[in-house]
């Protein structure tokens, strides 16, 4: 086994990639999308956050994907395990590393915000610290049903693309662009997570409302991952049955009839 395949290296890669993801997304949302309350077009808005999400996964995939596979998201890990593409025995370790990495990334944003002018950090926390949710945490004020549905669908799309990408050299591009696409749709509705580790990390600093609504940002992505993983597993089983049928010897009676 090569040194790059050791368990600590895998976990470290997952933690580092998730830390970069949360740092980029929460940083873009807190420092850029809300900069100067948007006056004078001095911020990038939702598009900047969506691009930060896509770029962070693209960068993390190329930097750390060769060590751990570049999940950076418990939903991706669980979806891959359900599809039979990842060992269930490794799931708990990956998820723990992702959550720890996410909290590190969010903590870095908190430390930076603490050095801003008076009231900035408190305002960021009051608004949920870029946490996902519904009602007061939804940029568009959408309700629970809308936020839940968009998180399920966005995660299902993401995990499906991850499971369908076969080209490691360009997989990061496809996944990064997919995240950008679904984020542009979902951010106004739920603040766009599709990632329980990212949701947990920002909720730690997001105040009581973020913590109360955290369940949705964990359950919905995992449900989306289950749907995508189950469909992928079903397709794989069907393909195996077709191969066995095609490779099966032709019975003598069938040869005569034919």
pLDDT value of position 257: 34
pLDDT value of position 120: 83
Q: Identify the band that residue 108 occupies on the pLDDT scale cut at 50, 70 and 90.
A: very high
pLDDT value of position 241: 74
pLDDT digits (tens, 9 = 90+) for 33-47: 765 554 444 566 889
Provide mean pLDDT across the span 12-20.
97
- Please say whether the beta carbons of 48 and 33 come within 8 A: yes
pLDDT value of position 62: 92
The better pLDDT of the pair 237, 49 is held by 49
- Please say whether the beta carbons of 17 and 70 come within 8 A: yes
- Beta-carbon count within 10 A of 21 CB: 28
- Beta-carbon count within 10 A of 5 CB: 11
pLDDT value of position 168: 63
> 153: buried, middle or exposed (CB in 10 Å: 19+, 13-18, 0-12)?
middle
pLDDT at 64 over 80: yes
Provide mean pLDDT across the span 19-44.
76
pLDDT digits (tens, 9 = 90+) for 150-177: 999 999 999 999 999 866 667 889 999 9
- Beta-carbon count within 10 A of 110 CB: 18
Q: How far is CA 71 from the centre of its chain?
A: 8
Q: Own/partner pairs for 6-9, CB < 8 Å, 24+ apart? A: 7/93, 9/67, 9/68
- Looking at every residue in the chain, the average pLDDT score rounds to 88
Q: Where are the domains of the chain?
A: 3-237
Q: For the structural domain made of 3-237, what CATH number should be given?
A: 1.20.1080.10
pLDDT digits (tens, 9 = 90+) for 174-225: 999 999 999 999 999 999 999 999 999 999 999 999 999 999 999 999 999 9
Report helix, strand or coil for 99.
helix
Q: How far apart (Å, rounded) are the C-alpha atoms in residues 189 and 177?
A: 19
Q: Identify the band that residue 126 occupies on the pLDDT scale cut at 50, 70 and 90.
A: confident
Cβ neighbors of 110 (< 8 A, separation 6 or more) are 121, 129, 205
pLDDT value of position 258: 31
The vertex-220 CA angle with 94 and 137, nearest 5°, equals 105
pLDDT value of position 43: 62
Four-CA torsion 6, 9, 15, 16, nearest 10 degrees: -150
């Amino acid at each position: 086994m090569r040194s790059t395949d050791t368990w600590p290296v895998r976990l470290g890669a997952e933690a580092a990639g998730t830390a970069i993801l949360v740092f980029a997304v929460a940083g873009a949302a807190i420092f850029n999308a809300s900069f100067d309350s948007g006056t004078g077009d001095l911020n990038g808005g939702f598009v900047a956050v969506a691009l930060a999400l896509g770029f962070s996964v693209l960068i993390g995939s190329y930097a750390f994907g060769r060590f751990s596979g570049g999940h950076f998201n418990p939903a991706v890990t669980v979806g891959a395990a359900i599809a039979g593409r990842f060992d269930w025995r490794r799931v708990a370790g990956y998820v723990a590393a992702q959550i720890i990495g996410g909290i590190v990334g969010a903590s870095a944003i908190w430390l930076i915000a603490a050095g801003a002018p008076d009231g900035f950090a408190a305002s960021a926390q009051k608004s949920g610290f870029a946490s996902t949710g519904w009602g007061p945490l939804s940029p568009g004020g959408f309700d629970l049903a809308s936020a839940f549905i968009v998180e399920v669908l966005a995660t299902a799309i993401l995990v499906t693309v991850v499971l369908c990408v076969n080209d490691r050299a360009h997989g990061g591009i496809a996944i990064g662009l997919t995240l950008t696409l679904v984020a542009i749709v979902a951010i106004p509705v739920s603040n766009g997570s599709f990632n329980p580790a990212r949701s947990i990390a920002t909720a730690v600093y997001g105040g009581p409302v973020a913590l109360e609504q955290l369940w949705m940002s964990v359950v919905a992505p995992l449900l989306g991952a289950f749907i995508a993983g189950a469909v992928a597993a079903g397709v794989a089983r069907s393909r195996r049955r077709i191969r066995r049928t095609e490779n099966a010897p032709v019975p003598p009676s069938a040869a005569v009839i034919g």
